[in-house]
Amino acid sequence: MLTLRQMRYFEALAAARHFGKAAAMVNVSQPALSAQIMEMEDHLGVLLVERHRSGVLLTPKGEAVLQRVRRILEDVAGLEEFSRDGGGVLQGLTRIGIIPTVAPYLVPALVPHLRKTYPEVEIELREAVTDRLVADLSEGRIDAVIAALPIDGDGLESLPLFADRFFMAMANNDSDVLTSPLTETQVDAERLLLLEEGHCLRDQALAVCGTAGKRSLVNFGATSMTTLLQMVSHDMGMTLIPEMAIATEAARNDLRIVPFAEPMPSRRIGLIWRRSSGRGKDMEALAGAIVACGARPN
């Protein structure tokens, strides 16, 4: 028979377009997720995905099934929310979206903390850029978003979590001499490396460094902070780094971290959810867990 687990795994696979990434999103092994998708295909008698070495594509039938699956999961989530009224906080499924410049530095501390503090919660994680996550939140595919504030959207509530200061990262052997603390006039726009379009940190970097109207000659458009900082460590340029990423990334890469002059630029990380979900108490508990779990930058 068709199960909710299979539908949730299929929705994750449709979002990630990769078995390994989808398995990580729902916290199972890749073989376990793959087996459930195959069982779902066998039960329905249709091929849902095309399997390629680089990832997966949905078949036309898979796209049609996905729309029905999403409606079913939204109804189930609504039923679970209704049944939780009057109960304890953070019980049952909670689907959290996190932007890529926060997820790698927050998740390793947050998930174990939630499992210990709220043993009845089931966490599903989704990593994507802000616009995609806000769309998923508004359409009921996720319950909360952890991203940089402010977030515009009808019917959305938010809670600020912490301020995350910005620093400049450059290679230890970089020949440029930057005075510390740094001012935006010292940043060479032609050496500024940026994340690809769609990442809010890209726009923040342009704003902080005063380069919004200038053309960067070394615009690689990296998809992750890790890739960007590997390029920096090989002396291909410099980039803005959030404070919460410094400990992890400085251990991986040979970097020189230069602070900005006061008042130091920063971003505000917050938690966003739908006002209509009726999960305000859950979100307050989740916000408290994020701050308490030690993921906040020192």
Find, among 29, 33, 27, 30, the residue nearest to 3 by Cα.
33
The pLDDT assigned to 53 comes to 83
Residue 186 exposed, middle or buried by CB count within 10 Å (0-12, 13-18, 19+) = middle
CATH homologous superfamily, domain 163-266 = Periplasmic binding protein-like II (3.40.190.10)
Helix residue spans in 52-178 (DSSP H): 60-84, 103-117, 130-138
Q: Is the peptide bond before 259 cis (omega within 30 degrees of 0)?
A: no
Does this model's pTM top 0.85? My answer is no
Spell 4-13 as b/e; 16+ CB within 10 A means b.
Answer: eebbbbbbbb
CB of 169 within 8 A of CB of 241? yes
Detail the DSSP E strand segments found in the chain. Answer: 49-52, 55-58, 92-98, 121-127, 144-149, 156-171, 239-242, 255-259, 266-274
Euclidean distance between CA atoms 43 and 176, whole angstroms: 62
Q: Centre a 10 Å sphere on the Cβ of residue 54 and count the other Cβ atoms it contains.
A: 7
The tokens 């509530």 sit on which residue?
157
Fold agreement between 1-85 and 163-266: no
Residue 235 exposed, middle or buried by CB count within 10 Å (0-12, 13-18, 19+) = middle
CATH fold of 1-85: Arc Repressor Mutant, subunit A (1.10.10)
CB of 97 within 8 A of CB of 142? yes
CB of 99 within 8 A of CB of 149? no
Q: How far is CA 247 from CA 105, 128, 298, in A?
A: 9, 22, 10
CB of 243 within 8 A of CB of 167? yes
CA dihedral of residues 247, 253, 258, 260 (deg, nearest 10): -60
Q: How far apart are the first and last CA of the chain?
A: 50
Q: How far is CA 74 from CA 136, 160, 176, 237, in A?
A: 11, 27, 53, 45
Q: What type of residue sits at position 27?
A: N
Digitized pLDDT (tens) for each residue of the chain, 298 residues in all: 899 999 999 999 999 999 999 998 888 999 999 999 999 999 999 999 999 888 899 999 999 999 999 989 888 877 776 665 556 788 888 999 999 999 999 999 999 999 999 998 999 999 999 999 999 999 888 999 999 999 988 889 999 999 999 898 988 876 665 666 777 666 767 778 887 766 777 777 777 776 544 444 455 566 788 888 888 888 888 888 999 999 999 888 889 898 988 888 899 999 999 988 888 999 999 999 999 875 444 4
Euclidean distance between CA atoms 234 and 219, whole angstroms: 15
Q: Where are the domains of the chain?
A: 1-85, 163-266
